[in-house]
Structure 1
C-alpha cells in the first residue's frame, strides 16, 4: 500500500511538471519565421521538386523541436512552397511573391535557369537564396552576395568524368550529344575538351532539341563510326530514351552522362535493362557515405513515403544551414543572415557545408556511378580542394 501511495504521488508530480511545462510553452510569445521554397511542384519535374520540398519540410520539423528565441520570442519556422513549373518567367513572379511574403530566405530554384531568373529579385531584396541543385557557373557568377549553391559546378565535374572515360573505360573514340540547353552544351563542351586532353578522339558532336525523344538517326550514324562511348548532356527522361535506343539498335558503346540527376531508382525503372553499363556522374558523395543517412532515409520515408533523388539530401541541408545561420546571427534581418551564411561552417547530412566568397561550396565532391544489374554502384568519388 505504501508503495502504491508513493507511486501515485510520483505520477502526480510528473503530471504536474508536464502540465506546467506545456503551460509555460503555451504562454511564450511565438514568432513565425517563413522560409520560401521555389521549384517545380507540377509538370514533368513534379516528383523531383516535391522530393526537394519535402526534404526542406523535414529539416524545418526537426529544427522546430529544438526551439530558440530571438528578441525574447520563440522562433517557429514554416515552409512556404511555391510552384514555378520549371518556367523562368513564372519563377520571377514567384520570387516577387515570396519577397512580399517576408521570407527570411529561400530554398531553390530546382534548376539553374530558374535559379538565375529569380536571383536578382532576391538580391535586390537582400534575401539569401540557396539552390540545392543549380550547377551552372553563371548562377553564382553574377556577383550577387545573396546567391548560394549546395552543389559543385557542372563543367568542373567533367574534369573527373573525362579522365575516367578515357583511362578507366578505355574510350578512345567518343560521340558527344547535347540537348541544346546551356547546361547540355556546357557539359558536352567541357567533357570533349578533357577527353581530348587525355588522348581520345571526338568523332562527332551533335546538338538536339531538349524535347527530342527519338535518337535513332544519330545513333545509326555514330554506330557506323566504331565508337567506344556516347556522352550525352541532357535531361533524365531524354537519357532514358537514349539508353533504350542504344539497346534496341545494338549500339555497343558505353553511355556516359553527368550532373543530370539520373542516379536513383526512377531512372532504373524507366530504362529497364537498357540502363546496364551506363556511367553517370553526380554531385556529392554516395548516400551510404553520408553521416546520418540511415536516420534521414527512415524519417523521410515515414513522414512522406516519397521518392528520394540524388539531390534530395541537399535540399534538407540547405534548409538546415539557413536556419543555423538565423540562429547564429540572432537576427531576423535577411541581410544579417546572408552575412552569417558567408562565414558559417555547418556539419550537415552531406558533409561540412561552407561557402566561398561568391556562394559556391568550398570543397564540392563528385561521384561516378555505374549501372550494374539494374543497380547503381559508386565507382569513384573526387573532392575539389
Structure 2
C-alpha cells in the first residue's frame, strides 16, 4: 500500500462516520423499564401474568418504533423476582436502581410494594404498581408512587356493601393472612360491615404460607356466621374455601382480588361456587373492544389465558412511555415530574391520578363462580 492511500484512510473513515450521523443510523439507545413480581412460590402464576402484560407492551412499542428527544429508543424489560417477600423486594428494588431503569412496573403485592417504594423514591424513579391495593402505599408522601387499581379503602367497603345489601349477610367471621394486603383488606371490610350493622363474630389471623385451616374453620363453624371474609391470596384462599366445604361450613366465602383468579377453581375445586370476590379494577369484559383485542394478543403470544392484572401492567408500560413522550426525555427526574398530569386512555380505561398517585376514578368489580368459571356480578365506580 502506498503512502497516498494510507493518508486517505482516516479521511474516508471520518467521512463514513459523518454520513452515518447525518442519516441517523447510530445505534438505538436502550432504555430499561423494571418489572417486579413473584416468579417463584405459591403465587408465581400471578407474577408471571403481570410480567407477561408488561412484556407484551414492551415488544409492541419496540415493533412500532419509539423516538424520544430525536433519539431512537429500544425498550428493555428488566424483569425481577421478589418471591412475594418484603426483604427480597428491597434487594431487587436496589438492583433495579443499580441497573439504571428509568421506571418500575411493580410490585404485585402491597407487602412488597410498600418497602420497595422508599428505595425508588430515594433514587427518584417512578413506580407504578398494577395490583398493590393497601392505601398506605401511596400515602407515604413520595412523589414517585402511583397505582392503576383502586385501593382497599374502596374494595373492602364495596365488598361489604354488596354482602349486606344484595346477599343480606347479617353476621360474619373475618380471617386474614397477616400480610399488608390481606390484613388491610380484611380491616377495611370489617369497618364497613360493622357500620352497616353486621355482627362481626370473630377476627382470626393465619399466614400466607398456611395449608391447613381446619382449626380456625372448626371454631368458625361453631359461630355459625352467614359469611366468612378471607383476606389473602388464591394460594391460601383456595384451600381455605375447599376445607370449609369439607367441614360442612354453611357460610359464603367473601374475598378480594388476591383470591379472585381463574386459578381458584384448580385450588378450591367445586368450593369455588361458594365464593364471592372482588377485583380492584374494571373486568376484562367491561373493557370492550380494547379488552377483547388484548385478550387475543395475550393468548396468541403466551399461549395461556389472562389470570387477572396483565392488562394493568400492559397499560402501566404505555403510561410510562406516554410520560417520556410528554417530557421529551428518558431522564427519570423528568418522567417523575410529568407523571401527575397523566391522562392516558388504554385497555383498562382512562387513567388520571390524584395528588397521592391514586386513580381519580377507581372501579371495583364483583364476581361469583359458576361451575368453576368466574362470572361478573356487578361493577361499582368509586
| TM-score using structure 2 length | 0.90
Number of aligned positions between the proteins: 360
Structure 2 counterpart of 1:279: 276
Moved beyond 6 Å, runs of 4+: none
Of 260, 263, 274, 2:260 maps to: 263
Structure 1 counterpart of 2:18: none
**Deviation of the 1:275 alpha carbon:** 0.7
Deviation string for 1:314-340 (max 9, x for gaps)?
111111111111111101111111121
More deviation, 359-368/291-300: 291-300
Residue segments in structure 2 that go unaligned for 5+ positions in a row: 1-21
**Deviation of the 1:43 alpha carbon:** 2.3
**Deviation of the 1:26 alpha carbon:** 8.5
**Cα gap change, 1:346/1:25 in structure 2, threshold over 3 Å: closer, same or farther?**
farther
- The alignment partner of 2:274 has SS state of coil
**C-alpha RMSD of matched pairs (Å):** 1.8
Q: Does 1:163 align with 2:161?
A: yes
Whether the aligned pair in 1 keeps the contact of 2:295 and 2:305 (CA below 8 Å) is no
Deviation string for 1:177-227 (max 9, x for gaps)?
112223222222221221122221112222223322222222222223332
Of 50, 53, 56, 1:55 maps to: 53
Residue segments in structure 1 that go unaligned for 5+ positions in a row: 1-23
- The alignment partner of 2:181 has SS state of helix
| TM-score using structure 1 length | 0.89
**Cα gap change, 1:151/1:25 in structure 2, threshold over 3 Å: closer, same or farther?**
farther
Deviation string for 1:27-82 (max 9, x for gaps)?
35421111111222222222221221111111111212332423322112111112
Q: Following the alignment from structure 1 to structure 2, what is the Cα–Cα distance between the partners of residues 345 and 191?
A: 31
Whether the aligned pair in 1 keeps the contact of 2:120 and 2:126 (CA below 8 Å) is yes
Q: Following the alignment from structure 1 to structure 2, what is the Cα–Cα distance between the partners of residues 359 and 343?
A: 10
Structure 2 counterpart of 1:129: 127
Q: Following the alignment from structure 2 to structure 1, what is the Cα–Cα distance between the partners of residues 374 and 351?
A: 26
Matches within 5 A, 1:140-219: 140-219=138-217
Structure 2 counterpart of 1:113: 111
Structure 1 counterpart of 2:236: 238
Q: Following the alignment from structure 2 to structure 1, what is the Cα–Cα distance between the partners of residues 71 and 186?
A: 52
Matches within 5 A, 1:1-385: 27=25, 29-260=27-258, 262-291=259-288, 292-384=290-382
Q: Following the alignment from structure 2 to structure 1, what is the Cα–Cα distance between the partners of residues 187 and 48?
A: 31
Whether the aligned pair in 1 keeps the contact of 2:132 and 2:181 (CA below 8 Å) is no
Structure 2 counterpart of 1:7: none
Structure 1 counterpart of 2:16: none
Q: Following the alignment from structure 1 to structure 2, what is the Cα–Cα distance between the partners of residues 122 and 146?
A: 7
